[in-house]
Structure 1
Amino acid sequence: MGTRVKWAALAACVVLICAAAFGIKELVSQTPDTGAKATANEFAAAWGRQDAAAAAKLTTAPGQAGEALTQTLQAMNAREVDVAVEKPVEYSDGTASFSLRTTWKFDSDHTFTSNSSGAARHLSTGWKITWEPSVIYPGLPVGGNLREIRTDATPAPTVNSRSGKPLMYLQPVNEIVLDPSQTRDVNASAKALATTLAPIAPLVTTSVIGEKLAATPGKPITAVTLRNSDMGVLTSDPASVPGVTVRKAGMLVMADRRLSSPLESGLTNYWQAIRNATAGWQVQMVGPGMAPQRLAGEQGPPGPNVPTSVDQGVQLTLGDAAVEVGQPATIMALDAKSGAILGAAQNTYAAERGNNPDAAYPVGSTLDPVLAAVDRSARANQETPDSVLDRLGLGVQFTVPGASAPATGTGVATIDLRSAATQMSMTNMAALGVAMARSASGTADSVAPYVVDGVPTKVAGGRLGGLNPDLTGPIWDAMTTTAKTGDASDLTNDPGLRALVGTNGPDGPGWFVGVQGGKVVVIYTEGPKSGTAALQVAQKYFRIQ
């Protein structure tokens, strides 16, 4: 009996030891999961990393899968993709099934979540995802993809003139694009395209197209953008030129095509900011031969129209005046009481130079009587010259919504009361003209120029303020003398004109700042004899206003 107990005890120990040994092996030497679940998880992880190539290698058709995944990942352009495997099941016949929950997260803080299903097979090389486009999204056709697009509410806002009529509005346009990589002979294509465009855009010459191509080697360039009505004038199709495509788009354009203005850029930026604030989004499924199918999205309400101070009649007059001279010329007109910008125009020479109302340019002798009066006033009233200049609008920086370039405002004014190193922007000079007009009419403070009604101009670097006769009186007298017996005395059709005229030497630039007929007119010109050129532009303005 004792021997049996010993053998039983020994057998029990052996069983316990073996069991313990097997348990330890399970804990310390777990082998990697090589089943269908592991493959599905690896596929999901690669997709989540937006690594289409890695995900495609885990499928039965890497080429097709890679193309489809790449198209969708690029078209969705998501900030983050989360892909989770759900309900993986292996079957005894070497197949498996699973579900995917995919969440696309976009920069604009919206998300799109979809559920899809897939299958897997055990092949000689291991488990592989059976490739079907429906793995990405149920019902996705071969050659199709998902995409996320921006949507804009309709109707689009218009930019309205002072009268309330549309000044600028959204219109379909045609971008004529030349891709040098899609033609065997770029020079021949450039020449053929220039010939095709000649009936409507004669200035887009072979050399102009060549310069654009040279500026961005190997990359597509937009030769010109044409309205639909312009396309009807052409005698041949631009798309027939090797390497050329016609891309449909929408653009904010002048309602009256006779008008052009350096204000267009600022007004377009302001309008675009409204469109951006009210923009929506949409996820679509697209594929060959099918209309885009909306899967999700949201849309905000239409944005408000943009009311401006621009007078279309004044704008047309300014445009005609700017082309009077064959050198860079820019002209701006403002309401003398309110500082409202009524229009601004420039000729092609100024546009090519990149001249704009924001930039600061040398004023030369133009402000000599102003700086002298500032110095006297500061001494008499125990003020700093800077504070006096600020009140006149000369020592500050303006950011004019709808007119100034985004985030830059006007160029930094440089002021030296003892030299010709002073630099001003046209906006600064305009503020001076308005300040003088307001002071002469008995209004004792200066104001900032503006172009969008109800949207104040930002003033930095100083404060506008009160205007006393001791300061403005001598300046007004000097402006009167300049108009009656000085450099502006030969101008005609300008009753009541008061003006400042000057240059920065023989090579310019030249300036004209005039107050007449309830308006302030500022002219900036460049090149030799630019002072004379500024007076020529002023004369044309007064003759046709």
Structure 2
Amino acid sequence: MSAASAVVVAVGLVSACGSDETTDAGRVAGEFADAVERQDAQAASTFTSSPALAAEALAATLAGMDARSVSTVVDKPVEYSDGTASFTMKTTWQWQDDSTYATSTSGMVRKLSSGWKVQWDPSLLFQGMPSGARLQRIRTDARPAPSIDSRSGKTFMQMEPVNEINFDPSAAGKKVDAAIAALAASIKPIAPLVTAKVIAGQVDKANGQPITAVTLRDPDMKVLASDPERITGVTVHRTGRLVMNDRRLESPLEVGLTNYWNAIRDATAGWQVQLAAPGQRPRRLAGEQGPPGKDVATSIDQNQQLILGDSVVDVAQPAAMMIFDAQTGGVLAMAQNDAASAAKIEPALSYATGSVLRPVFDAVDRAVPGARDDTRAAHDVLHHYGLGVRFVAPGVSVPRDPTPTVSTARFSPDSFTASMLNMGALGVALARADAGRRESVAPYVINGATTKVDNGELGALTPAVSRDILGQMATIARKGDASDITNAPGLRALVGTNGPKGPGWFVGIQGGKVIVVYCDGDKSGTAALQVAQKYFRVSTR
């Protein structure tokens, strides 16, 4: 008898959920599809002839697809007199971005001693899927990746292949110490500071989880003392990363710039559904890809960045330094020493200012009647000069603590705090006033990206206040605390500390630039002057 003549149930379209199959075969097929729709691999496998194999394959595809939702539609099975039935199933995968992918598959239901079961076959997930394969959805990025460019148009940061040297202590077993020592010896020629002690510290901090000991560029791999992958527990993961084009450079701005770059990559990212089978390259089944993002133009001056890196290394306490274009407010460079990095000094975090801003408060006090009585007008003047407000500049690391930058309890430098961005904005406002400009501007690093200003507004500069502060700054540079600084013709400066333990500040205007130095700890005022002097000395070489 032919299969066609043995049909006892006609075909009809139903959804997996709430299906009204009237036969046992139809019920089982519907329950299987319903469990797939719920993304419950274990439950779906129980309706198949091979639960263990089905659970493994279903779990692999469900994890690989990582869908927001799955919907299934089955045809009522066509049941035959030999104890079998056939059905088709349409599965639609949907993700957070509303993209979808659908498959149409066919399967069999058989009556076994344990009852009706879906005959397990990977083709239930994708027609022709081989054993051990899975469906997966991956993110795709447009090529070429955008670069981050300096103010001159040269590449400042770019995506390059890198090698993550990973260590898994659990894989090393009882030979963890020996493996760490061998890894440190392997990478010593290129990363001598990543010692066995440093790696062991990373392992302890990770509570036994795998760690990345160091990330190296391709040329670095050629000078290693040995192949690290021969060490028990060590693997090398090749990936891509945004890195400095000039290997001599490093900057705290890398964090903010990388975040901005990642946002561009996220906005232009595409997707691809693949069939991944053992021993074969993944096969593209569907997907979409947008155009590559534009290169990111910034205000950064690579030469200034190099100079700043040399300027902050000679002091022991935390030291950070920023340079701004005195007319546009663009950040030309930022650098910090290892101590500042460990202390997590950030450009938008607020720190006590102490005596460094006394000339500013004195000038406002003289220009604004009743300033000592905490008039709103006095604080508005400070805001116009970039003090007391909070800057959120795209491409600059956002502060960890959103604490307001100033307390308005009284009009006094003793209770005032400011970030390096605030100090830079002050210097730029004064330089602009000296050039005849009437308005202050917010600092920025990415051309065309708007800096958000909170807790107040920038605005018109008061001529009398500007002249007063600039005059005091000239006196400080000529015969005050900054008078020992050389190689800085025309310098005007603010210098001060917040007591013996600091912090210490230097804010200078010179040669079309605003220089801000922040130092922490004992004798931080002297350290700030030392950093500033090193900058002017290196700048004139």
Shift of 1:181: 2.5
1:42-441 correspondence runs (5 A) = 42-185=31-174, 186-379=176-369, 384-405=377-398, 412-414=405-407, 416-418=410-412, 420-441=414-435
Amino acid of the residue matched to residue 140 of structure 1? Answer: M
Corresponding residue to 1:504 among 498, 501, 518: 498
CA drift of 1:407 comes to 9.6
Q: Shift of residue 424 of structure 1?
A: 0.6
The answer to whether the aligner puts 1:445 opposite 2:445 as a matched pair is no
- Amino acid across the alignment from 1:146: L
Identical pairs, percent? 55
- For the residue of structure 1 that corresponds to 2:356, the secondary structure is coil
SS of structure 1 residue aligned to 2:72: strand
Shift of 1:269: 1.0
Question: Structure 1 33/115 Cα, relative in aligned 2: closer, same or farther at 3 Å?
Answer: same
Deviation, structure 1 residue 109 = 1.3
Greater shift, 89-98 or 376-385, is seen at 376-385
* Corresponding residue number in structure 2 for 1:5: none
Shift of 1:210: 2.4
- Opposite residue 83 of structure 1, the aligned amino acid is T
**SS of residue matched to 1:38:** helix
- Distance of 1:406 and 1:530 partners within structure 2: 22
| 2:474 alignment counterpart | 480
Q: TM-score, normalised by structure 1?
A: 0.91
Q: Is the 8 A contact 1:404 1:410 kept in 2?
A: no
- Distance in 1 of aligned mates of 2:205 and 2:22: 55
Alpha-carbon shift at residue 291 of structure 1 (Å): 1.6
Q: Structure 2, unaligned stretches of length 5 or more?
A: 1-19
2:31, 2:172 → 1: CA distance?
43
Shift in Å at residue 410 of structure 1?
9.0
Query: After the TM superposition, which of the residue ranges 178-187 and 244-253 deviates more from structure 2?
Result: 178-187
- The total of aligned residue pairs comes to 515
Instruction: Give the structure-2-normalised TM-score.
Output: 0.92
Say whether the 8 Å CA contact 2:349–2:401 is kept in structure 1: no
Q: What is the CA–CA distance in structure 1 between the aligned matches of 2:413 and 2:426, rounded to whole Å?
A: 19
Aligned counterparts of 2:471 and 2:141: Cα–Cα separation in 1: 54
Deviation at 1:371, TM superposition (A): 1.5
Cα shift at 1:187:
3.1
Q: CA deviation at 1:292?
A: 1.1
Indicate conservation of the 8 Å contact 1:399/1:410, yes or no.
no
Gap change, CA 1:282 and 1:411, over 3 Å in 2:
farther
Confirm or deny: 8 A CA contact 1:327 1:525 kept in the other structure: yes
Worse overlay, 176-185 or 412-421: 412-421
**8 A Cα contact 1:179 1:243, kept in partner:** yes
| SS in structure 1 at match of 2:368 | helix
Aligned-partner Cα distance in 2 for 1:414–1:342: 30
Task: Answer whether contact 2:160 2:241 (CA < 8 A) is retained.
Answer: yes
Alignment check: 8 A CA contact 1:397 1:413 kept: no
Deviation at 1:469, TM superposition (A): 2.2
When the two chains are superposed, the root-mean-square deviation of aligned CA atoms in Å is: 1.9
Q: Can you list the C-alpha shifts for 1:473-528, whole angstroms capped at 9, x where unaligned?
A: 22112111111111111111010000011111111111100000110000111121
Counterpart for residue 471 of structure 1: 465
Structure with the greater alpha carbon radius of gyration:
1
The CA deviation string for residues 430-455 of structure 1, in whole angstroms up to 9 with x for no partner, is 00010111111221221111111122
- State the SS of the aligned residue for 1:225: strand
Q: Which residue identity lines up with residue 362 of structure 2 in the other structure?
A: A
| TM-fit CA distance, 1:380 | 6.9
The equivalent position to 2:516 in structure 1, one of 519, 522, 526, is 522
Pick from 483, 490, 504 the counterpart of residue 489 of structure 1. 483
| Gapped regions of structure 1 (runs ≥ 5) | 1-30
SS at match of 2:81: coil
Q: Which residue of 2 aligns with 1:534?
A: 528
